[in-house]
Amino acid sequence: MEKVFLVCPSCRTRLSFAAVAGYQDKIVECPICHFKAKANVYQGGNVAKGGNGADSQTQMPTQLSGAMQSKNDLGQIRVVNTKQCCPLKLGTNVIGRIAQSGKADIQITNDPYMSRRHLQIDVVKTNYGIEHHLVEINSKNIIKLNGAPINRNDILKLNFGYKLTLGIIDIYLEETDEEATQIV
């Protein structure tokens, strides 16, 4: 059976369920943040690789290919303990804990060591492809990059596979794949 991919408008987790007839009118409850609405209120969660990334005609200059990591994929973050996959969008993505007010764009868990707005990942389009920048936003709680604490006001370039620790929660920056939280 074919799957429908949706992105929760509240916490931005990618969700999937079986494409039954008339699913658009089905009430879908996000298992992560418990947002509840008809399926057609959720955003489409297409997972076509690079589909919403850089223009396909953007080419690496040949002398540079292989010398640096080129990305056309906006990427996603994967939360280790909840297995949430949240697609990133071009521009600013603030990540934090699940909250009713002052919430982040991407909400992961309700861990008390996680700030409501804990860190920011900027997805930037350059001539050489997509870049991911980790931006420190004066969070009360610590942020580690690949195990090492980052400093106030740091802006650091991220590659796919990098691990970020927010409080006690590990998340990975990854290429977009088809992982999604299954709705039953």
The region that residue 126 occupies, defined by phi over 0 for left and psi between -120 and 50 for alpha, beta otherwise, is beta
| Contact in structure between 81 and 55 (CB atoms under 8 Å) | no
**Is the Cβ of residue 33 or residue 47 nearer to Zn ion in the bound state?**
33
Q: Which of 4, 7, 11, 95 binds Zn ion (CB under 5 A)?
A: 11
Q: Which of 8, 79, 86, 169 binds Zn ion (CB under 5 A)?
A: 8
Distance CA 160, CA 173 (A): 5
Residue with Cβ nearer Zn ion (37 or 124)? 37
Rounded CA separation 21/163 (Å): 40
Q: Kindly tell me which of 45 and 167 has the beta carbon lying closer to Zn ion.
A: 45
98 binds Zn ion (CB under 5 A): no
Q: Does 10 bind Zn ion (CB under 5 A)?
A: yes
Query: How far apart, in whole angstroms, are the C-alpha atoms of residue 4 and residue 28?
Result: 12
Q: How far is the CB of 79 from Zn ion (least distance, A)?
A: 12
Site map for Zn ion, 59-88, x if CB under 5 A?
Answer: ------------------------------
Count of residues interacting with Zn ion (CB under 5 A): 7
Shortest separation between residue 28's beta carbon and Zn ion, angstroms: 10
- Closest distance to Zn ion from the beta carbon of 86 (Å): 9
Cβ-based burial of 149 (10 A; exposed 0-12, middle 13-18, buried ≥19): exposed
In the region spanning residues 24 to 53, those forming contacts with Zn ion, defined by CB under 5 A, are 30, 32-33, 35
Which of residues 4 and 134 has its CB atom nearest to Zn ion in the complex? Answer: 4
Burial class of 112 by CB neighbour count within 10 A (0 to 12, 13 to 18, 19+): exposed
Q: Least CB distance from residue 35 to Zn ion, whole Å?
A: 5
The verdict on 106 binding Zn ion (CB under 5 A) reads: no
Residue 96 · residue 117 · CB < 8 Å:
yes
Question: Residue 132 CB: number of other CB atoms within 10 A?
Answer: 22
- The full length of the chain comes to 184
Give residues in contact with Zn ion (CB under 5 A).
8, 10-11, 30, 32-33, 35
